[in-house]
Amino acid sequence: MTSQPPPMHPGAEAAPTCYRHPERETYVRCQRCERSICPDCMRDAAVGHQCVECVEQGNRSVRPARAMFGGAVVTKPRVTWALLIINVLAYLAEIADPEGVIGRFATWSYGIYQGEWWRLITGAFLHAPLTSSWSLSHILFNMWALYAIGPELERRLGSLRFAALYLLSALGGSVAVYLFGELAVGASGAIYGMFGALFVVSRKLGFDARGVLWLIGINVVLTFVVSGISWQGHLGGLVTGTIVAAAFVYAPRRSRNAVQLSAVVALLAIMAVILLTFPPYGVIA
């Protein structure tokens, strides 16, 4: 004997079931595709509910948020913190072996001329040793400036562009030391590049930039008044950072990435040509 389903009354319809779980009855429909969905397949929407597939399709069509001048939105200034940590760790290594670290990694023009290219960037993460007249004030001022200005610039530019600004400014300062100086250590080239970038960003956004100008002016005067400061590294970083920031900030929106990348590549090429063409200060080719 077999059991038969009860006969349906005339006009009666089968209860709707979830399109993903046919065994479950439901009377809720997706607001986009109108398919029936059970509680496990419901996703909250602005109005009503949507199914899993419609939510995924909608997420793919939504543009990710961008920083003001390109790049992903920065919620935490990770590049700023990473640079701070690298500078502090380098200084601790310098304290442990000042002669070895400075002798091997300082920005030394003749060493660069002899092919020690790493000095162009490693010197920007070293600072005046404890035995010098600057003692701790050198690294403390630079790290305070990085802490105070870095997060704001990173949020405006995006992490990748901020890292490019910092490193290019450091390179610009080192190239200036190579051409017009002899030996230098310190993140001041990168810090001065951030000063220049802060001025450019302030002007672009319509902020009052007089305070930034005063900051730059005072530090430039101190560069030439106080003995033992590498004016080459400071001014080289300032000029480079200002140029990089201008390229990032004033790049047209439609071709922003291409213009910004081209500016970075062009600056790197110019620096390479200078280093390969001209001898350092005091060396006759």
Are residues 220 and 99 located together in one domain of the fold? Answer: yes
Structural domain contains residue 283: no
Query: Which pTM does this prediction carry?
Result: 0.78
Q: Is 44 helix (H, G, I), strand (E, B) or coil?
A: strand
Q: What share of the chain is helix, strand, coil (3-state, %, to 5)?
A: 60, 5, 35
In a shared domain, residues 45 and 112: no
**Pair 235, 101 in one domain:** yes
* Total residue length of the chain: 285
Same-domain check for residues 130 and 40: no
Residue 147 lies in a domain: yes
Of 36, 52, 68, the residue at which a domain comes to its end is 52
The answer to whether residues 36 and 123 belong to one domain is no
Residues 40 and 84 in one domain: no
Task: Provide the residue range defining the domain that includes 40.
Answer: 16-52
Kindly report the CATH number assigned to the domain that includes residue 105.
1.20.1540.10
Q: Residues 160, 117: one domain? A: yes
Question: How far is the C-alpha of 172 from the C-alpha of 266, rounded, in Å?
Answer: 13
Total domains, the chain: 2
Is 33 a member of any domain? yes
- Asked if 25 and 144 sit in the same domain, the reply is no
* 34 inside domain: yes
Residues 89 and 29 in one domain: no
**Together in a domain, 162 and 100:** yes
Between CA 162 and CA 284 the distance in angstroms is 37
Q: pLDDT tens, position by position, for the chain (285 residues)?
A: 444 555 545 544 577 888 888 888 887 888 888 888 888 888 877 667 888 888 777 766 555 566 788 888 888 999 999 999 999 999 999 999 999 999 999 999 999 999 999 999 999 999 988 877 667 899 999 999 999 999 999 999 999 999 999 999 999 999 999 999 999 999 999 999 999 999 999 999 999 889 999 999 999 998 898 888 899 999 999 999 999 999 999 999 889 999 999 999 999 999 999 999 999 976 665
Q: Is the four-CA dihedral 186, 181, 194, 213 of positive or negative sign?
A: positive
